[in-house]
Structure 1
């Protein structure tokens, strides 16, 4: 019997989605991407979608630990463009970070080549356009960082390795969404959920036709599939589950986790997870649904996909797998606490992850970072961190720092507060470019405090941090007694539940100017971010001008703002 859910979203794993330009064993990976607009209808409504090489999602970026990655980006959009690499750790090179505080944009009709070396890192990540709310229009794709030869993955090699990019989606153009925010309005509710660029309205199940049918798995039992799932949306936490299949969690954002089965998995905005799924023995030739549903929203959004085996002859049927209640925060926080670092396996290096005893390192400094919302005299909303709403200067902070022009940027916050401020203090520094000066190899304790009624997610470029604690209410010193100082998971994006806190520890051993931001597109666009300026000391610094730069300014650097007319501009040949 035909399912009442049809027509539905389908995951097409075709050769064009898996093509890469990796040169095996060379240590260098080259890509050439053209970013443009194309009319697509992911939810049945035509829209200008941002595509890369005419693909949505964009091409897979596939590399190996310590590879040098070069990506030539040609901007065929009618507006400036930057690409950022969510979760990828670049070795001492924030010049390639692809966010507004570090790079001048690639202008329409121009191109720029990113070139960076991966740090000691493995895992599942994604890239996306970082400017002008463009992520709401597409332009994102998956990133895999593979183990080096000689360092085995800590599970048998699966039959297939599949990227699933899931996220909320708007039928209106991202320029219209941006205009809403500029006019002081909140973003409306999204129109649906996409899975690999497909909504539930554009493709049908066609049994017996392997070319045109919708499928995920092309291997029969007893094979195992490796699913790398990323939430690439703008604002919505999602719950992922597969009908009649268990999810064995094995990795998240560069960390191998203690293997644990889940019936469903909460994936917050900006997060990535790897799960193993064992193929089912079919008794009646059925297929199975993939369900991706919204969490913590008064409305429900549902994305649908299909697990279709080679011998599947019928559409999915049967009961929908149970999902957690929409506002069951207890389920979600208990699941988050259950995810542990696997101390016995190697990742980017042969030595076990547990050989790094983060719990024995003395903390250099504590930052309590509280997100907030303010409404200005013009009734326009702004989001804040410790009372400061980030305002970009006319010159990227990284360039201004390189050419010692910070004093000329009047809006740079002279001393960003280490903790939430009183109402009176906040009035004195409501808007500004927030920069926290950090000594190289300092060990920081960051507490993300969320007094608002919605889930927040935070991301730190250039680093992973250890998620040592979560709790309700307001953080205090007594909370340290509850911290996991042994096997807390290491990742780059973490959720903070409503009226709650999350604590992380991070070794700041990657020099540069690194972005710490809300992953919620509205909040990031309206000021919820800051930068960590990680500076070396003494003889350990590279010989650059000034000494705090982690690497020389690239020879192809795009210059803009005040640097264009600066008398001391020097770019190496």
Structure 2
């Protein structure tokens, strides 16, 4: 590492150290981002590599760890990483999406300073600019509980990251040009497991032992079903929440979702298929990996096990069965037992409806009729430096507009510490998946048809799962409760990546007049400044 970079990294870490406290450990990473040849479906493509790896390296951490990640951008274009599910408490500057963070210019580096404050669980990182996600650059994030905090299951014999997702043989630049030309994307070409096509990935186990799989759907367009031949999967965690330990033959993961399952290698010693296949599609795309017993008597046999295909009720019933384990210990931003979400009155209802249409003859996607367009300056920097004309708070309505799609930089204003209800309404015949940065929310209800006030009578107000990504089935709705206890500007987006790219996203501005460090950290000293914020100064070290 060059001396000037090392010195900068030291002072950046020292700056965070003063805020985070000496008791929380530090983990340091140095990542080199490049393009390179990859062959996931047997065809040479240009992939995004991190330290030469596709997918990128895992991040292993423990609750409250400080992660100092120095990213060198050796591409010929700007680059950003974002951290799906890491809440960046009081620190949206580090979120790694364009609304909050300036891109890393070609040939430059930037040091992210993250703290996985009050979190455990399974998450992932990904490249957030343009259509980079279609080239790779993603990897797993695991946050372990502190040793003194009991986990509601015995330590597994092994703990594996499993990244699944649909994939195209075309380079990401071709796909992006397709979207820029106003067209929809074609159907994907295949499905990958840990960056490999059919039969490419393998996982080694010993007979009689139990293992943990941390599964994330890092794909672009499709929900996936995951299963292991002749083995049952016990769900234990969803995006940072310990769940009731329900056992399934297979499990659906919608776009952007993560979970942990346990399985026991309790079958005769041989190799078995691991399968991931698309849901709600025709045709169904399927890929396989191999579960390999250490004393295996032979290779996989027979066809890969089938799974659900287009059945929505099967998936809806499984989703409703995923509940929070109320007896499990775990880190929480609020003292355990200090409140129960079902006993709090919501102060606001926000209804968000997705739609698709044409604007100026080109395909666009919208939320409440507003199709998001990127500003010339990150919203968080415009807010901090009080730069006018970048965005208008309240530029998107709390309710579906009902009119035609139009372009705007949509920002929804919200009060710090409000407790709000958000209803995602999906009138289209597709499955939708929504992610909110900076937060974990309670999924209190989902059903078919039109949401009405009477729908609240069916809400789960006791043990709804808390997560950061939720699906909305075709012609259906999903309702969440969220306590807005994290000041900042936060991306709310469709995880259907072409839709996100063409406008199906917005930013939630959680605002307070307070300048206290208890509410929000100051702008990082090393923050990149761009757009109309270029040339300004951050703050004294």
Q: Same fold (TM over 0.5)?
A: yes
In the alignment, the residues of structure 1 paired with residue 401 and residue 142 of structure 2 have an alpha-carbon distance, to the nearest angstrom, of 40
Q: Any unmatched runs of 5+ in structure 1?
A: 1-24, 204-213
Question: Is 1:321–2:305 an aligned residue pair?
Answer: yes
Kindly state the Cα deviation for residue 355 of structure 1 after the two structures are TM-superposed: 6.3
Is 1:148–1:348's contact at 8 Å kept on the other side of the alignment?
A: no
In the alignment, the residues of structure 2 paired with residue 38 and residue 92 of structure 1 have an alpha-carbon distance, to the nearest angstrom, of 36
- The residue aligned with 1:207 is none
Question: Is 1:562–2:532 an aligned residue pair?
Answer: yes
Seen in structure 2, the aligned counterparts of structure 1 residues 266 and 370 have a Cα distance that, compared at 3 Å, is same
Number of aligned positions between the proteins: 519
SS in 2 for 1:179: helix
- The residue aligned with 1:347 is 330
CA RMSD across the alignment? 1.8
Question: Residues 261-410 of structure 1 correspond to what in structure 2 (within 5 A)?
Answer: 261-282=247-268, 285-318=269-302, 320-324=304-308, 326-348=309-331, 356-377=339-360, 379-405=361-387, 407-409=388-390
2:219 corresponds, among 210, 233, 237, to 233
Question: Is 1:93–2:76 an aligned residue pair?
Answer: no
Kindly state the Cα deviation for residue 417 of structure 1 after the two structures are TM-superposed: 0.5
Is 2:280–2:310's contact at 8 Å kept on the other side of the alignment?
A: yes
Q: Any unmatched runs of 5+ in structure 2?
A: 1-22
- The residue aligned with 2:11 is none
2:208 corresponds, among 218, 222, 240, to 222
Kindly state the Cα deviation for residue 68 of structure 1 after the two structures are TM-superposed: 1.1
Question: Residues 422-437 of structure 1 correspond to what in structure 2 (within 5 A)?
Answer: 422-423=402-403, 426=404, 430-437=406-413
SS in 2 for 1:158: coil
- The residue aligned with 1:251 is 237
Kindly state the Cα deviation for residue 412 of structure 1 after the two structures are TM-superposed: 3.5
SS in 2 for 1:562: helix
Q: Which runs of 4+ in 1 moved over 6 A?
A: 350-355
Kindly state the Cα deviation for residue 351 of structure 1 after the two structures are TM-superposed: 10
- The residue aligned with 2:8 is none
Is 1:94–1:102's contact at 8 Å kept on the other side of the alignment?
A: yes
Question: Is 1:503–2:485 an aligned residue pair?
Answer: no
State the TM-score, normalizing by the size of structure 1.
Answer: 0.88
In the alignment, the residues of structure 1 paired with residue 335 and residue 262 of structure 2 have an alpha-carbon distance, to the nearest angstrom, of 21
Is 1:81–1:131's contact at 8 Å kept on the other side of the alignment?
A: yes
In the alignment, the residues of structure 1 paired with residue 462 and residue 336 of structure 2 have an alpha-carbon distance, to the nearest angstrom, of 11
Question: Residues 188-227 of structure 1 correspond to what in structure 2 (within 5 A)?
Answer: 188-200=186-198, 203=200, 215-218=202-205, 220-227=206-213
SS in 2 for 1:200: coil
Is 2:41–2:190's contact at 8 Å kept on the other side of the alignment?
A: yes
- The residue aligned with 1:62 is 60
Q: Which moved more, 1:493-502 or 1:294-303?
A: 294-303
In the alignment, the residues of structure 2 paired with residue 183 and residue 417 of structure 1 have an alpha-carbon distance, to the nearest angstrom, of 29
Kindly state the Cα deviation for residue 408 of structure 1 after the two structures are TM-superposed: 2.3
Is 2:372–2:503's contact at 8 Å kept on the other side of the alignment?
A: yes
1:118 corresponds, among 92, 102, 116, to 116
Seen in structure 2, the aligned counterparts of structure 1 residues 163 and 570 have a Cα distance that, compared at 3 Å, is closer
Kindly state the Cα deviation for residue 352 of structure 1 after the two structures are TM-superposed: 9.8
- The residue aligned with 1:6 is none
- Residues 218-274 of structure 1: per-residue CA shift (max 9 Å, x gap): 3x2321000000000011100000000000000000000000100010100100010
Question: Is 1:150–2:131 an aligned residue pair?
Answer: no
Is 1:87–1:461's contact at 8 Å kept on the other side of the alignment?
A: yes
Question: Residues 530-549 of structure 1 correspond to what in structure 2 (within 5 A)?
Answer: 530-538=506-514, 541-542=515-516
In the alignment, the residues of structure 1 paired with residue 233 and residue 140 of structure 2 have an alpha-carbon distance, to the nearest angstrom, of 20
Is 1:343–1:353's contact at 8 Å kept on the other side of the alignment?
A: no
- The residue aligned with 1:571 is 539
In the alignment, the residues of structure 2 paired with residue 330 and residue 143 of structure 1 have an alpha-carbon distance, to the nearest angstrom, of 31
Kindly state the Cα deviation for residue 438 of structure 1 after the two structures are TM-superposed: 1.4
SS in 2 for 1:178: helix
In the alignment, the residues of structure 2 paired with residue 336 and residue 82 of structure 1 have an alpha-carbon distance, to the nearest angstrom, of 32
Kindly state the Cα deviation for residue 350 of structure 1 after the two structures are TM-superposed: 12
2:74 corresponds, among 73, 76, 80, to 76
Seen in structure 2, the aligned counterparts of structure 1 residues 570 and 29 have a Cα distance that, compared at 3 Å, is closer
Kindly state the Cα deviation for residue 104 of structure 1 after the two structures are TM-superposed: 0.8
In the alignment, the residues of structure 1 paired with residue 334 and residue 261 of structure 2 have an alpha-carbon distance, to the nearest angstrom, of 23
- Residues 29-87 of structure 1: per-residue CA shift (max 9 Å, x gap): 11110111111101100111111111111111111111111100011112110000001
